[in-house]
Amino acid sequence: MSNNPQLNKSGQLQHLLTTEGLPASILLNILDTAEPFVGVTERDVKKVPLLRGKSIFNLFFEPSTRTRTTFEIAAKRLSADVINLNIAASSQSKGETLLDTVNNLSAMHADMFVVRHAQSGAAHLIAQHVRSDIHVINAGDGRHAHPTQALLDMFTIRRCKRDFHNLRVAIVGDILHSRVARSQIHALTTLGVPEVRVIAPKTLLPAKVERLGVHVYYDMAKGLKDVDVLMMLRLQNERMLSARLPSTEEYFKYYGLTPEKLGLAKPDAIVLHPGPMNRGVEIDSVVADGKQSVILPQVTFGIAVRMAVMSILAGS
């Protein structure tokens, strides 16, 4: 772990690229630091001067409105200057390489890059390449990782359930293509959740997924029994074009979260979803808007968690 590219020589977080391989102490420090930021976002002046004068570049090589916006809000509430670059539509289409783009932005005195890329490992590549005073946050790379989403999920779970050590958590849906699921699994196991389940049709599960320390279920009725936390995943429409699923109707019938299926979990179970939701595909509207849903609090907490990550990185 001494070669963890996310940590500097003194073991502090230098980049946030993945939840995999990060010690529990670092994950918990992020969650603890996010707590006071929740209070900041509830004030009249929703802003602190911590990152005043810092320049944060949102490098989105893949379209995303929601994630980019939450990073932008987080940076602005820390008083940083935010520059949004929708690279899919600019220099890359003119043939500039990823590292040339980064070199150019570094020459403009960037302090932090928030990177979203369709290719797994893109944020790692940038982190290895930049000067040591520049920090990189992975905002989703291919099928690999989406650490801030996983951390805001952990924050939401801890707020509702207080402790990780007595929980049964089920992750439901397209595990195969999901960077969110991978980051969730690593975070949950590191934080001491004793039982993490994945529930999905065989065609949407990676081979040998058990190696990540999860229990595999193909059947919602068995998999949801007595769980405390349900983490739903978005069924990406583009997957429907492949031969992995017969139809959205059939998917909803077997894996969509309806009030009946939710009834199999513990009565105080909570339902999470990273958004954007496909109502009637992976989740029934009655559940999405129901009292066990914490989907909108997740969005609110997501800002505080991203503020915490940016502050910790900028101060390391």
Partner 1 sequence: MQLPEAEDLLAVLTARIRQGISADTAVVGIHTGGVWLAERLHRDLQLALPLGALDVSFYRDDFGQIGLHPQIRPSDIPFKVEGSHIILVDDVLYTGRTIRAAINELFDYGRPASIRLAALIDRGGRELPIAAQYIGTTLDVPPAKMLALEKKADGKLGLSLYDKHQGNE
Stretch that binds partner 1, among 42-50, 94-102, 140-148, 218-226 (CB under 8 A): 42-50
Rg (CA), the chain: 19
Q: Residue 270: which H helix or E strand, with range?
A: strand 270-272
Asked if 259 and 199 count as a contact pair (C-beta separation under 8 A), the reply is no
Query: Which listed residue (11, 21, 35, 218) binds partner 1 by CB under 8 A?
Result: 35
Query: Which listed residue (9, 43, 94, 211) binds partner 1 by CB under 8 A?
Result: 43
Owner of token pair 């570094």: 106
* Alpha-carbon span 9 to 11, nearest angstrom: 5
How many alpha carbons fall within 13 Å on the CB side of residue 229?
32
Query: Which listed residue (11, 21, 29, 239) binds partner 1 by CB under 8 A?
Result: 29
Query: Which listed residue (38, 188, 193, 257) binds partner 1 by CB under 8 A?
Result: 38
Q: Which two tokens stand for residue 82?
A: 């935010």
Report, in Å, the least distance between residue 40 CB and partner 1. 7
The answer to whether the annotation marks 275 as part of a ligand binding site is: yes
Query: Which listed residue (8, 23, 24, 32) binds partner 1 by CB under 8 A?
Result: 32
Closer to partner 1 by Cβ: residue 156 or 178: 156
- Assign 168 to helix, strand or coil: strand
Query: Which listed residue (1, 45, 241, 243) binds partner 1 by CB under 8 A?
Result: 45
Stretch that binds partner 1, among 40-48, 62-70, 103-111, 134-142 (CB under 8 A): 40-48
Taking CB under 8 A as the rule, does residue 9 contact partner 1?
no
Stretch that binds partner 1, among 44-52, 136-144, 164-172, 265-273 (CB under 8 A): 44-52
* Alpha-carbon span 292 to 191, nearest angstrom: 23
Q: Which two tokens stand for residue 118?
A: 């369709």
The answer to whether the annotation marks 66 as part of a ligand binding site is: yes
The answer to whether the annotation marks 306 as part of a ligand binding site is: no
Nearest-5° Cα angle at 61, 55 to 66: 75
* Alpha-carbon span 122 to 87, nearest angstrom: 13
Torsion over CA: 17, 21, 25, 27 (sign): positive
Query: Which listed residue (2, 3, 9, 44) binds partner 1 by CB under 8 A?
Result: 44
Report, in Å, the least distance between residue 33 CB and partner 1. 6
* Alpha-carbon span 177 to 162, nearest angstrom: 30
- In Å, how far are 14, 191, 200, 211 from 167, measured between CA atoms? 30, 11, 20, 20
The answer to whether the annotation marks 147 as part of a ligand binding site is: no
The answer to whether the annotation marks 244 as part of a ligand binding site is: no
Residue ranges at the known binding site for carbamoyl phosphate: 66-67, 116, 146, 149, 275-276
Binding residues vs partner 1 (CB under 8 A):
12, 29, 32-33, 35-36, 38-40, 43-45, 47-50, 311-312, 314-316
Residue ranges at the known binding site for L-aspartate: 94, 179, 234
Residue ranges at the known binding site: 66-67, 94, 116, 146, 149, 179, 234, 275-276
